[in-house]
Amino acid sequence: MCKLGIAPKNKGMFSGTVISNRSVGERFYRLSIGFSDAGGEAFRGCVPGQFAQLDLSEVALPSIDKIQPELADSSKRSILLRRPFSFSDVRIEGTETIVEILYCVVGPASLRMTSLSADDNISVIGPLGNGFSMLKKKVTALLVVGGMGAGPLQHLANFLKEEQPNLKVVLIAGAKSKEEFPFDAESFCRYEIETVLATDDGSAGFKGFVTDCVLDWLGKNDLRSEDIIIYSCGPELMLRRVVEIAAEREIDCQVSMERLMACGIGLCQSCAVECKASSGETVYKLCCKDGPVFDGEKVIFKL
Ligand SMILES: Cc1cc2nc3c(=O)[nH]c(=O)nc-3n(C[C@H](O)[C@H](O)[C@H](O)COP(=O)(O)OP(=O)(O)OC[C@H]3O[C@@H](n4cnc5c(N)ncnc54)[C@H](O)[C@@H]3O)c2cc1C
Ligand code: FES
């Protein structure tokens, strides 16, 4: 198994400059940050699925009319800890490396993020963790996305098409309804890929859960299991079902897990993921250091 791309050697704390921060839906934003010098070098080789810790403690809250009523109380909380975010894109422009984060406003830190604007400086620790790996002989990569899992798989889709042009990349993305997709299906990937949408309410594409849509797609496409790899990111219940489907069909599967993270670098043990060791025993891996991407068959899901 080989890592996608060249894992960056120089992780560290870097100051980035905000290039843009645009709203792409009711609660979704795309934040682009530029890095030069050592930061540019470090993020240049970022592997899809890796993440960074952003310091949002000094960022001001948006004006009161821009705060959703359900976040009014929590918005006042001070931001003691950095927050982890993965990248939806990493590109090189001249001497700069530009990373993009697709984020959803869910609490005080992501709310403050919406106030960032061009030329603001932001402290970022990264790139952290281990990203997706590629099994060389695969013919089809099935990217299974639930809601905000779109970010790292968007990065992965572009990366795979650039590095392995002959690999067929298929996106199967699910959300509750059409409005809940944090991306535009046509522009998810810079290259043409087969895209299948699933919505719980049937407002776009397949009506039903994204995992049923995966079963439907596998049923319609007569492929050898050993030729497929599934990459997935999204809510844990969905990941659990994706892993079950992959195991039933003996398809290789990697999942990007999320955990509450305090340090992000393996010191505080707050992000444990229960896994199966090859001996059959249970071991605790750290999402920030050993993950966030894990072999699906190794994860013991709690939900
Ligand atoms: C490796 C990794 C990559 C991530 N990438 C992205 C990304 O690309 N885009 C994005 O929008 N978000 C991403 N997240 C989630 C993001 O870090 C959290 O939403 C963040 O905590 C938001 O901070 P907040 O102060 O706005 O909300 P908080 O007050 O911190 O959280 C709001 C609510 O979400 C819950 N929550 C927060 N983080 C997690 C988590 N990791 N797992 C389960 N529940 C959680 C909290 O318990 C709380 O109920 C990622 C998380 C991890 C671990
Ligand atoms: S977040 Fe501290 S050990 Fe993982």
- Three-state DSSP class for residue 41: helix
Span from the CA of 84 to the centroid of ligand 1 (angstroms): 7
Q: How far is the CA of 83 from the centre of ligand 1 (A)?
A: 7
CA 180 distance to own-chain centroid? 16
Q: Which residues line ligand 2 (CB under 6 A)?
A: 261-264, 266-271, 286, 288
Pocket-testing residue among 130, 269, 273, 294, ligand 2, by greatest number of atoms within 8 A of Cβ: 269
Q: Give 137: exposed, middle or buried? Use CB within 10 Å, 0-12, 13-18, 19+.
A: exposed
Ligand nearest to the CA of 284: 2
Q: Which numbered atom of ligand 2 lies nearest the CA of 287? A: 4
pLDDT value at residue 243: 97
Overall pTM > 0.95: no
| Distance (Å, whole) CA 115 – CA 267 | 30
**Quick one: pLDDT band at residue 1, thresholds 50, 70, 90?**
very low
Q: Ligand 1: which atom is nearest the Cα of residue 291?
A: 1
Pairing type for strands 252-256 and 293-295 reads: antiparallel
CA 145 – ligand 2 centroid, Å: 25
Site to probe by mutation for ligand 2, drawn from 80, 125, 267, 285 as the one with most ligand atoms within 8 Å of Cβ, is 267
Q: With contact defined as beta carbons under 8 Å apart, do 101 and 87 qualify?
A: yes
Region of 68 on the Ramachandran plot (φ > 0 left; ψ -120 to 50 alpha; else beta): beta
Q: Which residue has the higher pLDDT, 293 or 65?
A: 293
Q: Tens of pLDDT along 222-255?
A: 899 999 999 999 999 999 999 999 999 999 999 9
Q: Which pLDDT score, from 0 to 100, does residue 4 have?
A: 54
Residue 149 near ligand 1, beta carbon < 6 Å: no
Mean pLDDT of 26-35: 94
Q: Which domains does the chain have, with CATH numbers?
A: 12-128 (2.40.30.10), 140-256 (3.40.50.80), 258-303 (2.10.240.10)
* pLDDT confidence band for 5 (50 / 70 / 90): very low
